[in-house]
Each structure stands twice: as C-alpha cells, then as structure tokens.
Chain A
Amino acid sequence: MAGLEGRIALVTGAGTGMGRSHAEVLAERGADIVVQDIVEDAALETAELVRTAGRRAHVAVCDIADGVALAAVIGEAAALGPIDVLVNNAGIHALTPFEEIAEAEFDRIFAVNVAGTFNAMRAVLPGMKDRRRGAIVNVASTSGQIGTPGDTHYCASKGAVLGLTKAWAKEFAAWSIRVNAVSPGPIATEMTVRNRGWEGIRERAEKEIPLRRYGLPRDVSYAVAYLAGDGAGFVTGQVIPIAGGLAIVGI
C-alpha cells in the first residue's frame, strides 16, 4: 500500500485515544503531523511520539469549535509545509437520555463534532485547492449510521459528518481533493474501558459483535491511513465502517 512519505497531515483531537493512534500510524508511514488538541499536555505527548517515529511534529492547541483560533494555530503550522491530509477526528460524546439533554449540551456536541469538522476543512482547503491535491478523512461513527439509544445528539452529529463527507467529495473532486469517512463501531479506547470496564466489554463482545471482540484504535487508524494514501486515489465520498460486523448496512 502506498505510504505517506513527505506528506503533512493535520490530525484533530490528536492528544488522546484514537486521534493519537492516527497520528502515530500516519507518522509510521512517513507523514509529518500537525497535532491539534484542546489540551496542551496531551498534544505535546503525542508530538513526542511522532518524533520518536522519526517524523516532524507541530503542536496546535485550541478549541476546534473556535474557527478563528483554529485558523490562527493552523497558520502557525505553515513552517512545517502545506497540509496534504486532514483527519477530522476531534469529537465529544455524552450518553444522555433524550428528554434530559440540555440545549447547551446539544450545542456543544454539534460545535465540536460538526462545526469543528467544518472549521478544520475551511482552514486547510485553500492550500489543497492551490495544489490541486488533498485527502480528507472524517471520523464518523456507526452510531451515526444505525443509531444508538440514549445518544441522540451524538448520533445526529455523526450523521451530519457523513453528509459533509459526501457533499465535500462532490464539491472538491474537481480539484482532485478526496473526502471519505471512517465509521468506528465498538473500539476499546481508554474512554470505553473507563465507561464499561473490561468485564462489560467482554460481555458485549460475546453477545452483540459478530467478530466477538472489540477493535483497537489501530484498527481505525489503518483504515484512516489507507484512505489518506494514494492507494485510495479513486475512492471518494465513501464510508468504511470498522465495526467487527456491526453496521452491515448501505452499499
């Protein structure tokens, strides 16, 4: 599979969990990484991992929901060179029954998951258009495809990410900019382990997941790397679920 030697990738929400994993895997394939996160210490740690993999890293600390702040920190990353790959990973989640969702909570989920994705695209698009190349990988969720009870605003926000993916794929194909999405299902991140515990994870895996296990962040990162690379040069507007056999839905 094509590598990412010499490419520069912006990974949002790269300080922890899957975002950190994406940054590491892209760096292993030869990409330099702009590590965006809201938490500076976390971003610095990821940047160190990128450098350990032998690649350059630039830390961009801001709230992704703040488009002006994001544009400013991405502007500072220009020293690294032009951004060829954008991984829209930053996302938040809150399991709240529908009737109990406060307006502020709803707004915050959309501000990060949808407006954050929008802001990052705005920040990198002019350069990609100028160079007539670019690969965007949005991180959706199987929740946005098939729904999850008690997860209204998250499901809706991830459904919106799929909408962005397809609309952008069509709008920017003329500049050879490809836009795709990965759609993680049950992945054992630090957050999952905290929320469910290993016992809970094992139980759900046995009962509900055809492959009878959870995935790991790397399982998602490999799909991100595939879509970011030239091997996927004819793939645009598509969604790859990484879900162990859950979400076997649309074709």
Chain B
Amino acid sequence: MSEGRFAGRVALVTGAGRGMGACHARLLALGGARVVVQGRDGESVEQIATGIRTSGGEALAVAGDVSREEDVARNLDEAEAAFGPVGILVNNAGVASFGGTEAVTEESFDRVFGVNLAGTFLMTRRVVPGMKAARAGKIVNISSRFGQVGAPVSIDYCASKSGVHGLTKAWAKELAPWNICVNCVAPGGVWTEMGLAEHGGAEGIRKIEQSVPLKRWAQPEEMSHAVAFLAGPESDFITGQVLPANGGATMAGI
C-alpha cells in the first residue's frame, strides 16, 4: 500500500551517516523520496547515499555540522540545488553524554545542546521558508525516552531532549496555519553502535532488555517506521505530538 508514498517529495535526514539516521534515510528513499543524507563525516554520508542509489533510490550526500549555521546554510543550498525545496525534515542528529553532573564540562554541555537543540533549531529555521511557500511540510524531530522521564546520568542529554519536545509543540502551533506538521519520535533502547558503546557491548544491553516490558530493545528500522508514519501523508491530521517507541519502558503523559 505504501510503495511510493513519498514519491515527488524531498526529504533531508540529519545525522544520517550511520545508525538510526541512515535507516530513516533508507526507508524514506524506499518510499520514493529523494533523500538528502546529511551528516558530519563526508565519507559516511557518501557511503549511505551510494547504497541508496545502488538499490534504485535517489540520494545526495551533504557533509556538515548541524550546530554550525554556515554548514546548515551550505548543506541546504546543496540540497535545493540538486533536488529543490525540502518537504520532509528529519532532525535526527544527536550526541550522547555520560557521567554525573560534576563531570559535565561547560564545553561538553555546549556541544550536547549545540547539536541536539541548536542543530534542530538551525536546520528547521532554514527549511521553514520553503515549506511555508509550498504550504506543506513535515518535520519529524527525534528526542529520547530520557527527555520524557529523565535518567540518573547525562543531565545535559536529558535536558536537550526535553528541549526538543518544547520545540516540537511550539512549532506545531506556530506553523500549523501553513499546513506544516511537526511531531517527534521518542525512542527507547535501540540496538545501535551508540547503544552498544554506552552499555559496554551486547551483554550489557541484554541485561537491560529484561527491564523493558517487551523484554527487548528495538532494531533501528522500527524507529524508522515511526518516522515514516509521521513524515508521510497518513499522519496529515497529527501535529504537536510525541510518539514514544520504547517497548513499554515509559508510559507517561496523556
């Protein structure tokens, strides 16, 4: 039913050089979107874009740091020159942090907020005019279960992801008159390189999986299905919402 549901759309996914972002890019391309694969590492994004093209999709790699305004401007110029205005933006780029409050340096705090929050802001601000002109747009932000309920480590990460919820809701209200829908996916535990590094490998994850009601962590593709639902025409009447995909680990606000 959904073959080609993104046909004719241009989607930009940030932090798409690996992990979940790469999965989002692949699934959107599979649905017919022309995908801009954005990420910090030029080689990684080129590799992901090449993979998409090899399997018959359309993709462009652009390299930049979302926390730097000049990189964001350059990446969007490149994207628009190749594909035209971006109709779907997935703000996936994010960095994690570890350690208690006393261990957080001002530098690392700024870096986490720079990528997770300012990066989402800068990308969206640059993309919105095109969406307004088209009177259509889909913005999907990626937060985290930790942004909903907190965690005993990584306060800067938790706070930045809570900030993403704030952006999601405010933008939904601000941009609704232009038919721009803004929603958010809040992943729980996902088997990614980042997750493996955080928990000291597969053994560490397997232990934590037992505390999740569904008794497992997700594959990255499962997050991509949530992103695709919120990026596609089937969610046209949904805006300002946070969709948690966490195996039941958190059932918070209603």
Chain A residue at minimal CB-CB distance from B187: A234
Residue B14 at the chain A interface, CB threshold 8 Å: no
Check A112 for interface membership: any CB of B closer than 8 A.
Answer: no
User: Does A176 sit within 8 A of B, measured CB to CB?
Assistant: yes
A104 is an interface residue with CB less than 8 A from chain B? no
Q: A79 at the A/B interface (Cβ < 8 Å)?
A: no
Instruction: Report if A226 contacts B (CB, 8 A).
Output: yes
- Interface size (B, Cβ < 8 Å)? 44
- The contact string, 1 if C-beta is below 8 Å from chain A, for chain B 241-254, is 11111111001111
Q: B177, B218, B228, B240 — which one has the most chain A CB atoms within 10 A of its CB?
A: B240
Is A250 in contact with B172, judged by CB distance below 8 angstroms?
no
Asked, given contacts A219-B236, A226-B229, A234-B214, whether A245 binds B243 with beta carbons under 8 Å apart, the answer is no
Within 8 A of A (CB), among B207-238: 213-215, 218, 222-223, 225-226, 228-229, 232, 234-238
Q: Point out the residue from A169, A219, A239, A245 that lies within 8 Å of B254, measured CB to CB.
A: A239
Return A89 CB to nearest CB of chain B, in Å.
17
Interface range for A = 35 or more
User: Given A231-B222, A231-B229: A223 and B239 within 8 A (CB)?
Assistant: no
Taken residue by residue from 202 to 221, chain A's Cβ proximity to chain B (1 for < 8 Å, 0 otherwise) reads as: 00000000111101100100
* Inter-chain contacts of A241 with B (CB < 8 A): 238, 241
| A45 located at the interface, meaning its Cβ lies under 8 Å from any Cβ of chain B in the complex | no
Taken together as a complex, chains A and B put the C-alpha atoms of A243 and B236 apart, in Å, by: 10
**B-contact bits for A1-42, CB 8 A (1 contact / 0 none):** 111000000000000000000000000110000000000000
Q: Is the CB of A235 within 8 A of B244?
A: yes
Q: Is the CB of B226 within 8 A of A210?
A: no
Chain B residues lying within 8 Å of A28, measured Cβ to Cβ, are 1
**A:124-173 near B, CB below 8 Å:** 144-145, 162, 166, 169-170, 173
A234 partner residues in chain B, CB cutoff 8 A:
188, 214, 218, 222-223, 245-247
Interface pair A236/B248, CB less than 8 Å apart: yes
Q: Which of A176, A219, A231, A251 contacts B237 (CB 8 A)?
A: A219
Give the CA-CA distance A242 to B173 in the complex, in Å: 14
Tell yes or no: A49 within 8 A of B by CB: no
- For residue B173, give the distance in angstroms from its CB to the closest CB of chain A: 6
Is the CB of A191 closer than 8 A to any CB of chain B? no
Contacting pair B238 A240 (CB below 8 A): yes
Q: How far is the CA of A213 from the CA of B177 in the complex (A)?
A: 10
Q: Which residues of A does B touch, CB under 8 Å?
A: 1-3, 28-29, 144-145, 162, 166, 169-170, 173-174, 176, 178, 183, 210-213, 215-216, 219, 222-223, 225-226, 231-245, 248-251
Interface residues of B (CB under 8 A from A): 1-2, 147-148, 165, 169, 172-173, 176-177, 179, 181, 186, 188, 213-215, 218, 222-223, 225-226, 228-229, 232, 234-248, 251-254
